[in-house]
């Protein structure tokens, strides 16, 4: 497994890589969910393809400086996990290697990012789109693997690929969960014990709410169950169309019940799909 810290080193390795090249973009602090993404990429690449994992904590997608500063960076264990699960190469650039000091171009998505995380984290998805486009270009990847946990991110990246004719195939991976149902996230490690023990209520609330018959009841039940916690604070709770991500008042098309919940200063996201129902 090779490791590149500079764009020039990455390009040198790519000159000898065999196709297809499949990228797994990450911000590090890798956990079993990331391992599943790498394993899926290896399966898709086959015996002859190349799996590249990028590890880069992207500063321009953070809306809170404290969140950026506290983001974990256990590089040695990340590299071990990548090698163990079949990565062929790792791209680990620093910020100066990715962004010029006088950079003036940003990719802006103006529709799908208007709600959910985009509404509460201004500029977040502009930062995501910008870095993902750069990683696509730098890695010359044929495909990229993304987790469905960040379903809004996945929808926006698909839209960027479509609108900019990038020609990169997106390979989705279902949300990976802990044994108690909490969606795996690098942020889980920052939860204090009381918050970690309480956090599985997020998925339980979404599942219970999904049994209700109307959007109003779905949102009310989910909100009540989450807010019953003495620790949880809802950042957003929304029921949206699974394609447009616009809020819905009927269940006539596939929908997504999504939320972001703060435990202290740790922000957790989760969602569940809700099939269309006869009206």
Catalytic residues: 34
Locate tokens 């309480």: which residue?
A: 198
For residues 152 and 160, the answer to whether their CB atoms sit within 8 Å is no
Which parts of the chain are beta strand (E)?
A: 2-4, 21-26, 50-55, 89-91, 143-147, 169-173, 232-241, 255-263, 266-274
Q: CB burial class (10 A; 0-12, 13-18, 19+) of residue 47? A: exposed
For residues 214 and 222, give the distance between their C-alpha atoms in angstroms, rounded to a whole number.
12
* Phi-psi map region of 173: left, alpha, beta (phi>0 left; psi -120 to 50 alpha): beta
> What number of helices (H) and strands (E) belong to the chain?
11, 9
């Amino acid at each position: 497994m090779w490791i590149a810290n500079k764009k020039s080193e990455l390009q040198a390795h790519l000159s000898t890589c065999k196709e297809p090249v499949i990228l797994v973009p990450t911000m590090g602090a890798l956990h079993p969910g990331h391992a599943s993404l790498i394993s899926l990429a290896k399966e898709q690449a086959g015996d002859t393809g190349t799996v590249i994992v990028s590890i880069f904590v992207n500063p321009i997608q953070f809306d809170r400086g404290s969140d950026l500063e506290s983001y974990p960076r256990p590089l040695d264990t990340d590299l071990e996990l990548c090698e163990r699960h079949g990565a062929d190469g790792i791209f680990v650039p620093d910020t100066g290697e990715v962004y010029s000091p006088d950079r003036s171009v940003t990719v802006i998505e103006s529709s799908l990012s208007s709600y959910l995380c985009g509404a509460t984290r201004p500029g977040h998805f502009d930062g995501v789109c910008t870095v993902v486009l750069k990683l696509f270009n730098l890695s010359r990847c044929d495909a990229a693997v993304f987790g469905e946990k960040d379903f809004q991110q996945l929808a926006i990246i698909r839209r960027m690929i479509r609108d900019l004719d990038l020609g990169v195939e997106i390979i989705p991976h279902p949300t990976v969960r802990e044994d108690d149902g909490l969606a795996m996230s690098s942020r889980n490690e920052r939860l204090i014990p009381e918050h970690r023990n309480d956090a599985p209520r997020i998925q339980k609330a979404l599942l219970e709410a999904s049994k209700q018959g109307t959007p109003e009841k779905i949102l009310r039940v989910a909100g009540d169950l989450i807010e019953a916690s003495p620790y949880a604070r809802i950042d957003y709770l929304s029921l949206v169309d699974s394609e447009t991500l616009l809020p819905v008042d009927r269940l006539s098309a596939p929908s997504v019940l999504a939320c972001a919940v703060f435990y202290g200063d740790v922000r957790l996201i989760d969602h569940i799909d809700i099939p269309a129902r006869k009206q």
